[in-house]
Amino acid sequence: MTAPASPADPGSRVVAVTLDEASIGRSGPDIEHERAIAIYDLLEQNLFVPEGDFTGPFTLHIGITGNRLMFDIRREDGAPCVVHLLSLTPFRRIVKDYFMICDSYYQAIRTATPDKIEAIDMGRRGVHDEGSRTLMERLNGKVRIDFETARRLFTLISVLHWKGEGAGT
């Protein structure tokens, strides 16, 4: 029996992440900024261990194929490990709510009072946390991740999912 992986274990992490550019399309500056921060933060610290006999570190390619979210997991040297396809259905309402509240937040930070901005941001974080928990549930038994990793991945999934819906430019 092996010891549980920890974020300090270099083999239990993602060292590179790419998003399927065909799934994304063009986004506004706020969305691009969120995406860039999520990738940077994810690569700085994460816990990511595919279930099975795989040794890391790993690279991750995320995309949308049909009605599915695709996690193409490979070793750092490019050798394939596993591809997981997850239904987008559980994420649709959450992502829609998340982008709606993000739009409100970005408008508020330009003109609203600090109290209003804080209230909207609390709502935004709540929806984001819901999406992160949903992702952890969907990956249960497939990939072990911690909550902070799930949060960063949910941000990236939101960008893909939103573009996959053909909305939100």
**Residue 67 token pair:** 């009605």
The answer to whether residue 137 sits within a structural domain is: yes
pLDDT at 73: 97
The answer to whether residue 4 sits within a structural domain is: no
Q: Which residues contact 5 (CB under 8 A, 6 or more apart)?
A: 11, 12, 47, 49, 144
Taking alpha carbons only, the member of 117, 95, 93, 107 closest to residue 162 is 95
**Residue 104 token pair:** 């409100």
Element (H, E) at 31: helix 29-44
The answer to whether residue 50 sits within a structural domain is: yes
Packing angle of the helix pair 147-164, 29-44 (nearest 10 deg): 150
pLDDT at 24: 63
The answer to whether residue 7 sits within a structural domain is: no
DSSP-assigned letter for residue 165: T
pLDDT at 2: 35
Q: pTM for the complete prediction? A: 0.84
pLDDT at 147: 96
Q: Is the dihedral of CA 160, 162, 163, 165 positive or negative?
A: positive
The answer to whether residue 108 sits within a structural domain is: yes
Can you give the pLDDT of all 169 residues of the chain as single tens digits?
A: 333 444 457 789 999 999 887 766 556 776 777 788 889 999 999 999 999 989 889 999 999 888 899 999 999 999 999 999 999 899 989 988 988 888 888 889 899 999 999 999 999 999 999 999 999 999 999 999 999 999 999 989 887 765 544 433 3
The answer to whether residue 96 sits within a structural domain is: yes
Q: How many domains does the chain have?
A: 1
The answer to whether residue 2 sits within a structural domain is: no
Q: How far apart are CA 154 and CA 128, in angstroms?
A: 7
pLDDT at 161: 62
Q: Which residues contact 29 (CB under 8 A, 6 or more apart)?
A: none
The answer to whether residue 169 sits within a structural domain is: no
Range of the domain at 81: 14-164
